[in-house]
């Protein structure tokens, strides 16, 4: 337990920049009114979308009761976001809360903006904004991510194919902004 506390403290410190970034950003998730257009074929379970309304792109994967969405902030491409949503009741409340995820044995912390009961299809979840290249690299290179590790609501997200999907998302973004 003491090791977990040390990891949490280190993770909280390492993403403190992301917390400041989060406070200045708008919700990066596409709105129900945004025009999303598929960009190319699916890649290992991931679909790339061009958001014609905002001029950005995102990648989405759904599996079982969960869905993962990733992209970059439309107004600052150095800031990425990762959204995780599920139809399961994981006991989250609306608002901004601290979240922990474990990828490749490393614990990452950040501020998650949660949405419960407001999403299409009965999904709840939230998103993390980050400017940490280590986090982005871990998401791209690892195969699983545990959300809310060591809690009753913990669940595992399959990250297979994220590297290729992120590359396609980058190409999509270049076409949108170029």
Least confident of 37-41, 46-50, 82-86, 101-105: 82-86
Residue-wise pLDDT for 78-96, tens only, equals: 788 888 887 777 666 666 7
Query: Measured between alpha carbons, how far is 126 from 115 in angstroms, rounded to an integer?
Result: 6
The domain spans of the chain are 2-177
Give me the phi and psi of 174, to 5 degrees please.
-60, -40
118 Rama class: left (phi>0) / alpha (psi -120 to 50) / beta: alpha
Residue-wise pLDDT for 4-42, tens only, equals: 333 333 343 344 344 444 444 567 888 878 899 999 999
Query: Which residues, in sequence order, are CB contacts of 46 under 8 Å at separation 6+?
Result: 59, 60, 61, 161, 162, 164, 165, 168
Query: Measured between alpha carbons, how far is 172 from 58 in angstroms, rounded to an integer?
Result: 9
Query: Measured between alpha carbons, how far is 58 from 51 in angstroms, rounded to an integer?
Result: 8
Instruction: Work out the percent of the chain whose per-residue pLDDT is above 70.
Output: 71
Predicted pLDDT at 44: 94
Pairing mode, strands 47-51 and 106-115: unpaired
Predicted pLDDT at 7: 37
What is the pTM (predicted TM-score) of this model? 0.78
Average model confidence (pLDDT) for the chain?
A: 78
């Amino acid at each position: 337990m003491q090791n977990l506390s040390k990891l949490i403290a280190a993770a909280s410190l390492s993403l403190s920049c992301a917390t400041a970034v989060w406070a200045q950003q708008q919700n990066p998730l596409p709105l129900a009114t945004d025009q999303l257009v598929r960009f190319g074929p699916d890649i290992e379970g991931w679909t790339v979308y061009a958001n014609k309304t905002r001029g950005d792109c995102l990648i989405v994967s759904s599996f079982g009761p969960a869905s993962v969405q990733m992209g970059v902030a439309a107004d600052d491409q150095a800031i990425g976001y990762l959204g995780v949503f599920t139809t399961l009741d994981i006991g989250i409340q609306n608002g901004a809360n601290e979240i922990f995820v474990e990828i490749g044995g490393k614990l990452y912390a950040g501020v998650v903006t949660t949405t419960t009961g407001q999403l299409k299809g009965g999904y709840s979840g939230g998103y993390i904004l980050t400017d940490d290249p280590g986090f982005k690299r871990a998401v791209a290179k690892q195969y699983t991510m545990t959300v809310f590790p060591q809690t009753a609501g913990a669940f595992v997200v399959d990250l297979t194919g994220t590297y290729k999907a992120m590359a396609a998302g980058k190409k999509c973004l270049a076409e949108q902004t170029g």
